[in-house]
């Protein structure tokens, strides 16, 4: 449904951005994105094997503003980039699960430096995936194959850690994405345990998001998480191809499943150039195309717009959380 | 210590029913007993499958990939890392038999899905597999069945079904082809969402009753209002099908046979073996698992060591499995996949519906150079974990027996790399080379490094030998 | 054990005609290669993906080269470059794989096995005496050169070509020679080893022999021409080296790409054409320096052209394309006609091919190489007079 109404919340589908592209305008198996100033969006493409890794600069008006980063092990390059975030000055931090490092670029994408060493000691990394900044400028890194979360200062000095492998409360199993709310609480997508856990900065477990025992509100391999201004929590339910929404206390609210019935302007240009594709699209049910497939990351902007990134469909879908929604007449 | 002969036999089984095992893995298997291992191989469902969710978390671009090398890499990853070696080997077998090529299909993702059919149905009955293959969109497109409609018969699928997928030339008439094709009218592909701008979408099988020829057909002496599945039922019961499949299994698992195109004029290498396998087909009503049980437990199989030239996939996957340099998730599986193609076996892209020409036809001077260089480069790289393990085993062996003669070193190398068997001429060349290297010593770091280098060179030469080309 | 190249049977003399085939892999954009700049439909259909007016090198009042292919324009102006318009075949598939197979096998209606250039090699050297009669510079073997019983050679990197090359376990050339000697003895004939072992032994000895012969090429080569440092320049320098070594090679194959410019076409396409144009200029300069350009024709082709209308940043798969033939003995100029861009004349939005590629092949096979083209391309096709 283009408009989803549940538990006093209204989610209204707005539009989508992007399309598949091995290079340039578009994304390829994107894994994460971050919202910058002036409507800027940085989208991190994973590509595949030795092709397509990059950070694409766009804005909410579909403007392609360039790209940076390339495949390789050299300075400023990446092999398995997974997560991206900005520090308070707008510098771009990117984690690389293969190189076990975090690379820092300027706002426009010039390489600055990188840090991170392989291993399982304090401050060492094995498959760093989600990264996020707290209000103090500390960067939190999901150290996924060490099944923990570690924090660092901006030059990569170890600060703290929490979590260990397991399925008990507070344990982690190949955790993936991360986000931090305005109170500096930490939400971790606990991929292998099919749940999201909310921790205090000390590592103390606060809330688990995993739905009820009967399967309502459940998760399968959650990948990303975000929190809105009301404290509602959005989880990209990667294995179930949907976004699950929970109240702050863990109560399940509803799901979004993707509504991109209208191709993005970039995609429409592509379709328009190919008469055969136009014909073929008119002969089939396009629903699989507009639904989410492998939603991998979610962010909420200052206006409580919920923006979802799909890895398989190489696209962002944008929903508004309406605060002043009036019900339509029921007897229409 | 397991008996050396048991290790040799197990190494043979694992080269054929899988992609080879390391010496350590072989010892573990031998401790279970040969027949128990055969049973374990025949029941892949008892071992964990490759976890697709994990695979696509690390390789998101593999899922729904449009590029041929990435789809090939997806398969090579599975061949290298599977815990179900026979399942993957059977997929390769069926791909050779039901050769469907991206050169025409131009949709490697659909070929990947066809390979998944082989994994799922490859050890069940031949009848069920044939039905699934007939519904495979890649196969439908490959053999033009989407154009096979009542009133506009396209015989391509019907012909190949009889000639290359079941009975073999000489066991049916042109009329049978036409009648089979009529029975498969209306078996087509549903309209699909075209590729891009949002990735790839699957083709789906579609049966269109309005395009089906509902009139009576006469096929191989049977008459009725047959649909496709009825044709498959009749085919699966034919003695010619049993013999045809038996010969394919023999050629793939036991010993090289001439190419399928010449089978109607060239008798089998071992007619008794074919009889035995064909009997197993009849007794089990075409149950592949039962036929393979007979095959792997037969004397003719156990005695057929090094009787086949490795296919490029076997050579490449077997070599990196031994060297341990592609264990788990890491970049570069596409390079292995490309190497398969450069050695003449582009997976998902066979040269024609007749599959690859195998045996010594894999080899020409240029390809041989590639094969030799590929394997020799890997066994020459002492930084690789599997190569280190082999060198270590050689040194331990030499140390334990207190014999560091060139003979003992070469024996230990052949054992650690297989065990492999080489003919006496190759053997004496290896020993002559080992003699030039001098005694092994490791009392100083320099001596140890020199020893590592010398052992690695022997491994390199073994990998470069003619014998290494055989499975 | 090392055999000298003079042991090799020379199947041809120095001045036999040579064909160098350069495949533009991935479907080159015809409209942005030879630009119909005075046709308003070009500008209408290419709002984003066009060659700017100040980047055009007009050939006449209708068509132009792109500025980055200036070296080709110079060759054209010297009368040594033929442009073959509208090339392709009927019912052109938009699939790279299928289309490339058709170009390689000349079998548009069935799955072909044998390559057209393998047939050329067979007819140039019916006894199969020279494994270097046909040489591919690249990985593996293109289907165009593949045919049972026709030995050809594939060289990925000329300087390191050979058995046991680039091996991390081999620390010096002396080491390698020692290992190669053992290798040669391991592959020497063995009594009672069986036919497959015998066959492998022969293949191993042939591989050693071929590598020994071809090693002469980089060893004896010297030139004042400095090629650029990119893949196609290196490939063409390898071609020059093998050609100048006089090993009897008459068919060379190599490729460059990727031309599959669906996205962000302009920059990469410019880079490709700059690399190719400069490499071809340097290649001919090199041959001329050695008085060995007369006997060489280079042909360029791509599996199809690209869609007339751009998709915003690139172009998608099309049909008709353009081919070039280049050489001192080529009668330069334009051949055939540029297909119409009018909407009613397009097929699925693509330029309709008006010249069968097998005619182009036939011309080269018959008029340049002196062979009967019919068995090579599978029939009679309209030839042109560019050689």
Q: How far is A122 from chain B (nearest CA, A)?
A: 24
* Contact across the interface for B61 and A46, Cβ inside 8 Å: yes
Q: For C161, list phi and psi in degrees, rounded to 5.
A: -70, 135
* Contact across the interface for A273 and C316, Cβ inside 8 Å: yes
Q: With an 8 Å Cβ cutoff, is A46 touching chain B?
A: yes
Which residues contact residue C25 at a Cβ distance below 8 angstroms, ignoring those fewer than 6 apart? C100, C255, C256, C257, C258, C259, C260, C302, C303
| Residues in chain B closer than 8 A to A48 (CB atoms) | 59-62, 65, 67, 70
Q: Are B285 and B340 in contact (CB under 8 A)?
A: no
Question: Of B7-11, B12-16, B89-93, B406-410, where does mean pLDDT reach its minimum?
Answer: B406-410
pLDDT reading at A171 higher than 90 = yes
Q: What pLDDT is stored for residue C11 in this prediction? A: 41
Mutant choice from C311, C317, C318 vs A, greatest count of A C-beta within 10 A:
C311
Q: Are B409 and B396 in contact (CB under 8 A)?
A: no
pLDDT reading at C3 higher than 80 = no
Task: Nearest by CB to A276, from C310, C312, C348: name it.
Answer: C348
Segment A70-86 mean pLDDT: 98
pLDDT reading at C9 higher than 60 = no
**Quick one: DSSP state of residue A304?**
-
Question: Of A250-259, B39-48, B268-277, C154-163, where does mean pLDDT reach its minimum?
Answer: C154-163
pLDDT band at residue B1 using 50, 70 and 90 as cut-offs: low
Segment A133-148 mean pLDDT: 98
Segment A283-307 mean pLDDT: 97
- Residue B52 C-alpha from the chain's centroid: 21
How do residues B26-52 score in pLDDT, each as one tens digit? Answer: 999 999 999 999 999 999 999 999 999
pLDDT reading at C250 higher than 80 = yes
| Residues in chain A closer than 8 A to C349 (CB atoms) | 273-276
pLDDT reading at B316 higher than 90 = yes
Segment B290-314 mean pLDDT: 98
Interface size between A and B, measured as CB pairs under 8 A: 91
Q: What pLDDT is stored for residue C12 in this prediction? A: 41
Which residues contact residue C38 at a Cβ distance below 8 angstroms, ignoring those fewer than 6 apart? C61, C62
pLDDT reading at B60 higher than 50 = yes
Segment A239-245 mean pLDDT: 98
How do residues C344-359 score in pLDDT, each as one tens digit? Answer: 999 989 999 999 999 9
Q: With an 8 Å Cβ cutoff, is B469 touching chain C?
A: yes
Compute the C-alpha angle A223/A227/A231, nearest 5°. 140
| Residues in chain C closer than 8 A to A21 (CB atoms) | 262-264, 313
Nearest CA in chain A to C313: A25
* Contact across the interface for C97 and B423, Cβ inside 8 Å: no
* Contact across the interface for B372 and C164, Cβ inside 8 Å: yes
How do residues A106-132 score in pLDDT, each as one tens digit? Answer: 999 999 999 999 999 999 999 999 999
CA nearest neighbour of A84 among A65, A104, A68: A104
Task: Nearest by CB to C185, from B256, B429, B457: name it.
Answer: B429
- Model's pTM, two decimal places? 0.93
Segment A193-209 mean pLDDT: 97
Q: How far is C227 from chain A (nearest CA, A)?
A: 26
Q: What pLDDT is stored for residue A167 in this prediction? A: 97
Segment C20-24 mean pLDDT: 98
* Contact across the interface for B368 and C203, Cβ inside 8 Å: yes
Q: With an 8 Å Cβ cutoff, is A26 touching chain C?
A: yes
pLDDT reading at B268 higher than 50 = yes
Q: What pLDDT is stored for residue C191 in this prediction? A: 83
A163/A214 Cα distance (integer angstroms): 27
Average pLDDT of chain A is: 97
Mutant choice from C313, C319, C344, C351 vs A, greatest count of A C-beta within 10 A:
C313
Q: How far is B121 from chain C (nearest CA, A)?
A: 28
pLDDT reading at A142 higher than 50 = yes
Segment B263-292 mean pLDDT: 96
How do residues A43-76 score in pLDDT, each as one tens digit? Answer: 999 999 999 999 999 999 999 999 999 999 999 9
Nearest CA in chain A to B337: A49
Nearest CA in chain A to B196: A20
Q: Are C260 and C267 in contact (CB under 8 A)?
A: no
Q: What pLDDT is stored for residue C7 in this prediction? A: 41
Q: Which chains touch A (3 or more CB pairs under 8 A)?
A: B, C
* Structure-token pair, residue A214: 């009967």
Q: DSSP letter string over B330-341?
A: -TTHHHHHHHHH
Question: Of A35-44, B30-39, B442-451, where does mean pLDDT reach its minimum?
Answer: B442-451
**What b/e sequence results for C152-168 when a residue is b if at least 16 CB atoms lie within 10 Å of its CB, and e otherwise?**
bbbbeebeebbbbbebb
pLDDT band at residue B20 using 50, 70 and 90 as cut-offs: very high
Region for residue A42 given its phi and psi (left: phi exceeds 0; alpha: psi -120 to 50; beta: otherwise): beta
Q: With an 8 Å Cβ cutoff, is B325 touching chain C?
A: no
How do residues B108-148 score in pLDDT, each as one tens digit? Answer: 999 999 999 999 999 999 999 999 999 999 999 999 999 99
How do residues C43-78 score in pLDDT, each as one tens digit? Answer: 999 999 999 999 999 999 999 999 999 999 999 999
How far from each other are the two terminal CA atoms of chain B, in whole angstroms? 25
Q: DSSP letter string over B165-226?
A: TTS-TTSS-HHHHHHHHHHTTTEEE---PPS-SS------EEE-GGGS--S-EEETTEEE--
Task: Nearest by CB to B377, from C139, C152, C168: name it.
Answer: C168
Segment A81-102 mean pLDDT: 98
How do residues B326-350 score in pLDDT, each as one tens digit? Answer: 999 999 999 999 999 999 999 999 9
Average pLDDT of chain C is: 93
Q: With an 8 Å Cβ cutoff, is A272 touching chain C?
A: yes
Nearest CA in chain C to B349: C97
How do residues B318-329 score in pLDDT, each as one tens digit? Answer: 999 999 999 999
* Contact across the interface for B342 and C139, Cβ inside 8 Å: yes
Considering all CA atoms of chain A, what is the largest pairwise distance in Å, rounded to the nearest integer?
A: 65
Q: What pLDDT is stored for residue C15 in this prediction? A: 85
Q: What pLDDT is stored for residue C203 in this prediction? A: 94
How do residues B418-431 score in pLDDT, each as one tens digit? Answer: 999 999 999 999 99
B interface with A, Cβ–Cβ below 8 Å: 53, 56-65, 67, 69-70, 73, 190-194, 196-199, 201, 330-334
B366/B345 Cα distance (integer angstroms): 14
Mutant choice from B104, B142, B365 vs C, greatest count of C C-beta within 10 A:
B365
- Count Cβ atoms within 10 A of the Cβ of residue C42 and give its class: 0-12 exposed, 13-18 middle, 19 or more buried: middle
B350/B328 Cα distance (integer angstroms): 27
H or E, element range at B457: helix B445-463
Q: Are A224 and A232 in contact (CB under 8 A)?
A: no
Q: Are C196 and B309 in contact (CB under 8 A)?
A: yes
* Contact across the interface for A21 and C264, Cβ inside 8 Å: yes
């Amino acid at each position: 449904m283009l408009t989803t109404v549940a538990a006093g919340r209204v989610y209204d589908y707005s539009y989508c951005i992007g399309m598949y592209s091995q290079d340039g305008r578009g994304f390829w198996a994107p894994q994460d994105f971050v919202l910058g100033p002036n409507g800027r969006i940085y989208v991190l493409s994973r590509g595949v094997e030795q092709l397509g890794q990059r950070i694409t600069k766009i804005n909410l008006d579909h403007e392609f503003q360039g790209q940076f980063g390339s495949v390789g092990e050299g300075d400023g390059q990446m092999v398995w980039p997974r997560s991206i975030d900005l520090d308070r000055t707008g510098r771009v931090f990117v984690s690389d699960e293969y190189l076990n490092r975090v690379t820092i670029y300027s706002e426009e994408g010039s390489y600055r430096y990188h840090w991170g060493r392989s291993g399982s000691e304090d401050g060492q990394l094995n498959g760093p995936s989600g990264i996020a900044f707290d209000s103090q400028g500390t960067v939190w890194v999901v150290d996924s194959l060490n099944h923990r979360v570690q924090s660092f200062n901006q030059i990569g000095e170890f600060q703290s850690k929490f979590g260990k492998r397991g399925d008990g409360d507070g344990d982690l199993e190949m955790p993936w994405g991360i986000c931090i709310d305005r109170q500096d609480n930490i939400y971790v997508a606990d991929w292998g345990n099919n749940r999201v856990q909310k921790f205090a900065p000390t590592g103390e477990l606060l809330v688990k998001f995993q739905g009820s025992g009967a399967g309502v509100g459940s998760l399968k391999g959650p990948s990303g998480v975000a929190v809105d201004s009301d404290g509602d929590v959005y989880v990209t339910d990667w294995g179930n191809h949907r976004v699950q929404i929970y109240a702050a206390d863990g109560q399940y609210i509803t799901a979004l499943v993707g509504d991109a019935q209208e191709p993005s302007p970039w995609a429409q240009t592509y379709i328009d150039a190919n008469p055969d594709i136009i014909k073929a699209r008119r002969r089939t049910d396009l629903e699989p195309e507009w639904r989410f497939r492998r939603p991998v990351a979610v962010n909420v902007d200052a206006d409580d717009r919920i923006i979802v990134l799909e890895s398989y469909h190489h696209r962002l879908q944008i929903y508004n959380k309406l605060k002043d929604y009036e019900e339509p007449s029921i007897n229409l | 210590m397991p008996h050396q002969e048991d290790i040799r036999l197990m190494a043979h089984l694992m080269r054929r029913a899988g992609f080879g095992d390391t010496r350590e893995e072989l010892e573990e298997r031998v401790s279970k007993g040969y027949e128990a291992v055969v049973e374990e191989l025949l029941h892949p469902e008892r071992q964990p499958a490759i976890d697709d969710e994990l695979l696509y978390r690390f390789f998101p671009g593999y899922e729904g990939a449009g590029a041929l090398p990435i789809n090939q890499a997806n398969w090579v990853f599975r061949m290298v890392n599977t815990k179900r070696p026979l399942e993957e080997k059977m997929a390769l077998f069926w791909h050779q038999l039901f050769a469907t090529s991206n050169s025409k299909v131009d949709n490697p993702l659909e070929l990947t899905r066809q390979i998944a059919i082989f994994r799922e149905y490859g050890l069940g009955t031949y009848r069920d597999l044939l039905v699934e293959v007939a519904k495979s969109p890649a196969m439908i497109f490959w053999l033009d069945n989407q154009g096979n409609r009542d009133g506009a018969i396209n015989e391509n699928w019907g012909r190949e079904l009889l000639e290359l997928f079941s009975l073999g030339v000489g066991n049916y008439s042109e009329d049978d082809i036409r009648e089979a094709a009529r029975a498969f009218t209306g078996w087509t592909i549903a309209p699909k969402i075209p590729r891009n701008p949002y990735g790839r979408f699957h083709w789906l099988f579609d049966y269109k009753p309005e395009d089906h020829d509902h009139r009576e057909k006469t096929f191989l002496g049977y008459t009725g209002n047959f649909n496709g599945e009825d044709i498959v039922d009749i085919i699966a019961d034919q003695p010619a099908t049993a013999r045809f499949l038996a010969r394919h299994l023999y050629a793939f698992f036991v010993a090289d046979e001439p190419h399928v195109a010449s089978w109607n004029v060239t008798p089998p290498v071992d007619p008794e073996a074919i009889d035995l396998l064909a009997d197993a087909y009849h007794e089990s009503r075409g149950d592949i698992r039962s036929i393979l049980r007979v095959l792997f437990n037969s004397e003719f199989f156990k005695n057929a060591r090094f009787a086949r030239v490795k296919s490029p996939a076997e050579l490449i996957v077997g070599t990196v499995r031994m060297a341990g340099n592609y264990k788990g998730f890491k970049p570069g599986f596409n390079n292995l996949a490309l190497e398969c193609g450069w050695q003449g076996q582009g997976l998902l892209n066979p040269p024609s519906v007749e599959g690859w020409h195998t045996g010594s036809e894999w080899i020409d001077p240029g390809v041989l150079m590639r094969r030799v260089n590929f394997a020799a480069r890997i066994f020459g790289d002492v930084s690789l974990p599997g190569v280190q393990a082999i060198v270590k085993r050689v040194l331990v062996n030499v140390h334990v027996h207190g014999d560091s003669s060139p003979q003992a070193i070469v024996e230990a190398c052949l054992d650690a790399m297989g065990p492999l068997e080489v003919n006496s001429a190759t053997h004496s060349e290896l020993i002559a080379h080992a003699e030039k290297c001098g005694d092994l010593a490791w009392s100083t770091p320099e001596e140890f490094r020199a020893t590592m280098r010398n052992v690695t060179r022997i491994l390199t030469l073994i990998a470069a030998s003619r014998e290494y080309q055989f499975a | 054990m090392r055999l000298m190249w003079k042991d090799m049977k020379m199947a041809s003399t120095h001045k036999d005609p040579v064909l160098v085939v350069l495949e533009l892999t991935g479907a080159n954009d015809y409209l942005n290669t030879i630009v119909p700049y005075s046709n308003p439909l070009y500008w209408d259909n290419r709002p984003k993906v066009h060659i700017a007016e100040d980047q055009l090198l007009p050939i006449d009042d209708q068509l132009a080269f792109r500025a980055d292919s200036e070296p080709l324009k110079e060759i054209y102006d010297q009368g040594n470059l033929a442009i073959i318009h509208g090339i392709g075949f009927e019912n052109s598939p938009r699939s790279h794989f299928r289309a490339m197979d058709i170009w390689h096998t000349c079998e548009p209606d069935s799955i072909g096995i044998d390559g057209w250039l393998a047939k050329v090699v067979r007819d140039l050297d019916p006894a199969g005496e020279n494994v270097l009669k046909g040489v591919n510079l690249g990985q593996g073997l293109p289907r165009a050169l593949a045919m049972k019983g026709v030995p050809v050679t594939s060289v990925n990197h000329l300087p390191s070509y050979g058995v046991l090359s680039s091996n991390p376990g081999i620390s010096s050339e002396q080491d390698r020679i020692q290992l190669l000697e053992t290798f040669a003895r391991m592959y020497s004939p063995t009594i009672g080893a069986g036919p497959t072992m015998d066959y492998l032994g022969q293949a191993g000895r042939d591989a050693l022999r071929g590598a020994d012969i071809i090693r002469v090429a980089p060893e004896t080569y010297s030139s004042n021409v400095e090629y650029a440092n990119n893949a196609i320049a290196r490939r063409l320098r390898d071609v020059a080296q093998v050609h100048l070594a006089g090993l009897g090679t008459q068919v060379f194959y190599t490729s460059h790409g990727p031309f599959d410019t669906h996205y962000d076409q302009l920059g990469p396409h410019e880079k490709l054409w700059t690399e190719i144009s400069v490499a071809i200029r340097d290649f001919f300069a090199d041959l001329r320096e050695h008085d060995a350009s007369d006997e060489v024709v280079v042909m360029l082709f791509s599996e199809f052209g690209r869609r007339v209308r751009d998709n915003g940043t690139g172009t998608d798969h099309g049909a008709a394309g353009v081919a070039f033939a280049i050489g001192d003995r080529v009668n330069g100029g334009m051949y055939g006609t540029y297909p119409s861009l009018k909407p009613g004349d397009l097929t699925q939005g693509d330029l309709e091919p008006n010249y069968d590629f097998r005619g182009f092949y036939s011309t080269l096979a018959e008029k340049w190489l002196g062979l009967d083209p019919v068995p090579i391309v599978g029939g009679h096709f309209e030839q042109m007079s560019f050689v």
